[in-house]
Structures are given as C-alpha cells and as structure tokens.
Amino acid sequence: MKHIAWNTEDLSSGDHRHLWHPFTQQQAWCAQEPLVIVSGKGAILTDSRGLDYLDGNSSIWTNIHGHAHPRIVEAVARQIATLDHTSFLGTTHPSAIELAARLVRLLPGTPLPRVFFSDNGSTAIESALKMVIQFWQLQGAPQRCRLASFSGAYHGDTAGASSLGGIGSFFDRFASIHFPSERFSSLEELESFHQPESLAAIVLEPLIQGSAGMRLWPAGMLNALRTFCDRNGTLLILDEVMTGFGRTGTMFACQREQVIPDILCLAKGLTGGVLPLAATLVTERIYNAFLGTPEEQKTFYYGHSYTANPPACAAALASLDLFEEETTLETLQPKITFLTKALQSLQTLPAVADIRQCGFIAGIEVHDPLTRAPFPWHDLTGARICKAARKHGLLTRPILDTIVLMPPLCVTTDQIAHMVEALRESIQEVSEK
C-alpha cells in the first residue's frame, strides 16, 4: 500500500495550536510531540512516521473486529451513498429498524424488546436515568426519585451520568450541579440502606468496573443485586458500554450470571468501534408506562439530532454479521485462555502487584518493586510504562498505575504474545531503573 508522506512537525504544531484533548493536561501535552495516528488495519495502527502499533486498548475500548474491516467499510459506504442521515424525530429508516430487531434478539427470549438510540455511552446512561425518573412519576410513585451507584463507578461525563460517578478526581468538583444520588461501596452496604423504597434505579457496570482500574466484582454479585432490586421494586440498569459485544467472553456480561436488567446500556463496541452510536434497551413494562394520549403528557422528551444515524446503524449491523460470519465469540475462547497464560508470565516481575482479567479485558497493576507500596501517583508510572511500550510496538493507556490490555477481539495469539512481551520490557525498563 502506498503511504502518504505526513509532515509530523506540522501536524504537531497544528494540534498544539488549536486542539483541546479529553482527559488531558494540555500543558504537558503541548510540551511534547503527539503521536499522530494516520491509519489502521486489523489490530494495527500506524503513525505519521510510518511506525506500527498493536492496538492494546481497542482504541479506548471500542474496536471489535479490527480497524477498516472491509465488511464494515463497505456497509457504511453503501449506507452513506444511499441515505446519509435523516431525523429520527418524525421519520424512521430501514437500518435502524433492522438493527433494533437484531439487538433485542441477542438476549434469548427478548426480555428487553425496546430500543432507544442515542450517540455514546454517556447518553445511553443519561436517557436511561431520565426514563426511570419519568417512569416512576407515571406509575404514581414520584417519591422513587433517587438513583444509586457504586464507588469507583464510571458511567460517562454528561451531568446526569457523572452524578453517578464514583471516581472523586473526575466528578467531585461538579457536585453542585449533580442530582441526588446514593453511592455504595458494596452490595452489603446497599442491602443495609434504610430507604430502599426511595430508589428509582441502581446502576452497575456488571462483572468489572472499567475506569476504577479494571476492578472485578465478586462472583454472584450481579445475581444478588438483581434479587435486591426485585425485593425492593427498584429498577436495575446495567451499563455494558465497556463489557458489551463479547469483551468478557459472552455477548453481554450479564449473560455470565444469567441476569436480565430492566435497562441495558450499550455503546462503545456497538458499531464494531467504528462510528458513535448507543442503544438503551428496556422492558416492555417500562415502555408501556409511557403510552397515552398527548394530553396525558406521558411522552419521553429526549433525543439528539443524530439519533439512529444511518451509517452508524449500518456499521452496527455489519458488526453483528461479523460476529456470525467469523464466529467471533467461539474463536475468542482459546484466545482468552492464551491471554490468561501470557499474563501469568508477568506475575513474576517484582513490579507487578496484581493482574486482573475478565474475559478479554485485563488490567496489570504495578507497584514499587523494592517497597511493594504504590508508586506516588504523580510520578505517572503507568503512563511512563505505556509510553515505553510504544517503542515495543504496543499502544495502550493506563488507569493510574493499572495498565489496560484489552485488544480487539480479532487479534491473533501471536499478536497477544507480542503485546505481553512489550509490556514485560516496558514495565522492567520503567520500574527497575
């Protein structure tokens, strides 16, 4: 393939002049040349200097089948040429209709038969929160207006979603614009809450909390939470924005404990990680509560200009096709085993404090090899390890001192081995000098 010659210096100064990156201290960012990614193919990303990197965090937890998969590229191109966009307020279109039907069938028995589309993980949650508040009002129980979530939770950055966030450094300063919510550190703490009848809904990242540092819930937690919700009449919202679409080894994490939520929020991997799209799936009970004449004022007033964007729907449909055609989930199982074994080989490194894995999601936590205490957080050791890993052909991002390894599901075992070796070298380089 012919490579376009990029001028990295120009791109760098252009970025520094006008851009503001998410979750980024711009002062440090502008002090060094950024990594400019110019193309992607399969599990590999290429920078403006022609260097290749394995995409170790699936481009922030989104990519599923690899970059520029011809099946998805073709589906999106065909859709844009036919219908690029139409409003979902007042019209509908074939790709959204088909996608909704296929999404609801991913859970056997279609327990969540209604799909509300939006644009990203935050809005998948945001719309779910507004739905449950309105739902209880329509049910004649407006006192059920409090939302609950867990310490360490991350459900997005819009004000509603961030009200539920349990990561202080991200969310505390916005407390004055957050709405009332309860935060629990464990299921036990939730079970001893004195006002369960005030809870409209509980929101959880099932099996594993991502932004908390790939923190695993105890086995059975999800089931016990479902039981708590049933006993107290509280709705259960599962945030599968990270865990959805095979990431944990099954299509959805909730299937691992055979738990069906009242609302399921999907985004990141929904389009195969190609275009922004989110879906909030709900029970018929919730949906039915919103039916009525205009005068009854039961309409759900929520929506975005790009709701159910046709190319995004087409990408999602092609991604679901690929799950079948490439038997993605079946071929994933031996790769999960391979990843487990490969990660075990890191356990002997003195700087490795803990390795947490849930299916194809892993977090490798490092600490000071001499004192076995955490590194001072402002040393940014995790970030320095990830920077060093680039030289070994691995691109990923840490959460503090937990290095995330979450490859696209299409990755080969050779590529997994390469990623883990890159991590070994960079952990040693940074922590042992």
244 part of the interface to ligand PLP, by CB under 6 A: no
| Region 161-180 residues binding ligand PLP, contact defined as CB under 6 A | none
- The answer to whether residue 269 forms part of the interface with ligand PLP (CB under 6 A) is no
- Stretch binding ligand PLP (CB under 6 A), from 153-161, 341-349, 356-364, 406-414: 153-161
Task: Decide: 155 and 122 in contact? Cβ < 8 Å.
Answer: yes
In the complex, the smallest distance separating the C-beta of residue 282 from ligand PLP, rounded to whole angstroms, is 17
Q: Under rule CB under 6 A, how many of the chain's residues touch ligand PLP?
A: 14
**Residue number, nearest CB to ligand PLP:** 121
Cβ 423 to ligand PLP shortest distance, Å: 21
Cβ-based nearer residue to ligand PLP, 121 or 310: 121
Task: Rule CB under 6 A: say whether 155 interacts with ligand PLP.
Answer: yes
Burial class (CB in 10 A: 0-12, 13-18, 19+), 128: buried
Q: With contact defined as beta carbons under 8 Å apart, do 115 and 100 qualify?
A: yes
Selected from 133, 199, 235, 241, the binder of ligand PLP by CB under 6 A is 241
For the record, the structure tokens of 134 come out as: 């309105």
With CB under 6 A as the contact rule, the residue among 267, 317, 419, 422 that binds ligand PLP is 267
The one-letter code for the residue type at 248 is T
Q: In angstroms, what is the minimal distance from the CB of 412 to ligand PLP?
A: 25
Nearest to 404 by CA among 167, 126, 261, 212: 212
Q: Does 205 bind ligand PLP (CB under 6 A)?
A: yes
Residue 154 in the binding site for ligand PLP (CB under 6 A) = yes
Nearer to ligand PLP, 57 or 120 (CB): 120
User: Which position among 34, 40, 66, 156 is part of the footprint of ligand PLP (CB under 6 A)?
Assistant: 156
Q: Which amino acid is at 346?
A: L
DSSP assignments along 349-392, one per residue: STTEEEEEEETTEEEEEE--TTT-SPPPGGG-HHHHHHHHHHHT
Using CB under 6 A, which residues numbered 115 to 134 contact ligand PLP? 120-122
By C-beta, is 210 or 382 nearer to ligand PLP? Answer: 210
Q: Measure the CA–CA gap between 279 and 114, rounded to whole angstroms.
A: 10
Report CA-CA distances (Å) from 51 to 48, 290, 387, 394. 7, 53, 14, 11
Q: Is 266 in the site for ligand PLP (CB under 6 A)?
A: no
Which letter, b or e, does each residue of 161-177 get, where b requires 16 or more Cβ atoms within 10 Å of its Cβ? bbbbbbbeeebeeeeee
Contacting residues toward ligand PLP, per CB under 6 A: 61, 120-122, 154-156, 205, 210, 239, 241-242, 267-268
